[in-house]
Structure formats: C-alpha cells, structure tokens
Amino acid sequence: MLVLMTDFGVAGPYVGQMKAVLFREAPGTPVVELFSDAPRCNPRASAYLLAAYAEDFAPGTVFLAVVDPGVGTDARRPLVMEADGRWFVGPDNGLFAIVARRAAACRCWEINWRPSRLSASFHGRDLFAPVAAMLARGEEPPGLLCACSNFEWPDDLAEVVYVDSFGNAMTGLRADLIARDAVLVVAGHELRYATTFGVVGVGDAFWFENANGLVELAVNQASAAERLGVTIGTPVHVQALS
C-alpha cells in the first residue's frame, strides 16, 4: 500500500500528478490519500500527525509524505526512512522525526537517484513519488545509508496541529499521557474531558481522546476552531482539576 500525506490541498493538480506517477510506476498498488491538507508549510506540526496515524498501517506500507517548504534547496536532504518495517519517503526536514523517535528500529538513506526531469519546485512528483514506487515494487532504497537527523522537538507537542472539516482541533499530545481529570486551558477557555460528543450538551466544549490516540478539542455540533478561537499552533496548557 502507498499512503499519501501532503499539504497540497484538495484543489489543483498536484495530488493528481503524484498519483499518476504512482499508478504508472507501481501499477496495481493501492494508493490511499491520508492527508491532502496537512498543516501547510509546517513539517513540525505534521510530524506529530504522521506518527499518530502511521501506527494504523501494516509493516511494508510506503508513506509518501511531502510537507516541504524547503523544496529545491540545500536546506534539507531527500530521504528514505524505514521505521519498524514501514517506509517513509520525503524531505529530511523533521517530518519523520517523531516516527523515528518512537520506533524500536530505524534506518535512513539519503536518496542519490535523480530522474531525467527534476523540477526545482515539485520534488513530490519528480523525485519522491518515483522512489516511493520503487519501494512499493520491492526494490532497495536508491541511496546511501546515513544518520537519521535529530530534531530538538518535544516528545509530545502541546499545541493544535490540525483542524478538521468539522472544526475539531487535534493536538500533538498523546491522550494516554493526560489524566482524565485534567483541565486543558486553550485560548482562555477551560475544557474538561468527555468520552465523546453525545455525552455533553449541544454547544458544550470538551476534550477527548480521538480515534488515533491524540487529545482533540471539540464542541458538540459546532466548530471548536471558531467557538474557541484556535488554529494550528495555538498552545494547550494542561492543569490539574481545581
């Protein structure tokens, strides 16, 4: 299986162009669009999402992940990473850092293969997609083993990292590390834990453990982003119940 995670958005040709390469180079391999709206130009926030969602996929899955504000520059290497049997292809800009940190076993390769056509601004299509297809075909990573980069980011990020179409706000905090009697203070609002939407009143704000193990902020039948005034990067403070 090939899994796409990008910040390209659902409009425009970009995801479609990448998928066309995958279908051409790895025909018959299922392609799943996990995120087309990852935090834009924000590999740090995206890293916590990728780590949480990758766990649902079996070993052997190839993740093609492109959140790449440094595309076409020497600011980052093109990378293949293998972590606990899953493959990750994309820029070495921290996007894979949390996956690597939580993995029991991890190896990295700097990609040295180059296509005949390599645009300066679309490595997702021209470089990363062909390499992901190679891995999906069972080929070896086209590069040299290298040290996996270290990014001095926290194990859990106490910030909003994603807002979905309902206005629910995911954080970079793993919920199993937060006591259920904790109060989360977000943009001046105090939120208490509830298991799910239907156990609170309509219009009530709360936090819960989402289906992928992250702390998520929500308002029953309304947008938490609008009601609470939060966006990607809004800090979340954890306090004991007063």
d(CA 193, CA 1): 36
Instruction: State how beta strands 2-6 and 157-163 pair.
Output: unpaired
Structural domains in the chain, CATH included, are 2-146 (3.40.50.10790), 157-239 (2.40.30.90)
For 202-229, what is the mean pLDDT? 97
For the chain, give the mean pLDDT: 96
For tokens 């595309």, what's the residue? 71
The rounded distance, in Å, linking the Cα atoms of 204 and 71 is 42
Residues 121, 125, 127: CA angle, nearest 5 degrees: 85
How far is Cα 135 from Cα 212, in angstroms, rounded to an integer?
26
Neighbouring-strand partners of residue 2: 31, 62
Q: In the block, which residue shows the tokens 């070896």?
A: 140
| 241 pLDDT above the threshold of 70 | no
Residue 242: pLDDT over 60: no
Beta partners for residue 222, in sequence order: 219
Q: What is the largest CA-CA distance in the chain?
A: 63
Q: Give the Cα separation of 184 and 238 in Å (integer).
A: 5
Distance CA 134, CA 131 (A): 5
Q: Is pTM, for the whole model, over 0.85?
A: yes
Tokens of 215: 């702390």
What are the tens digits of pLDDT across the range 16-72? 999 999 999 999 999 999 999 999 999 999 999 999 999 999 999 999 999 999 999
d(CA 87, CA 141): 10
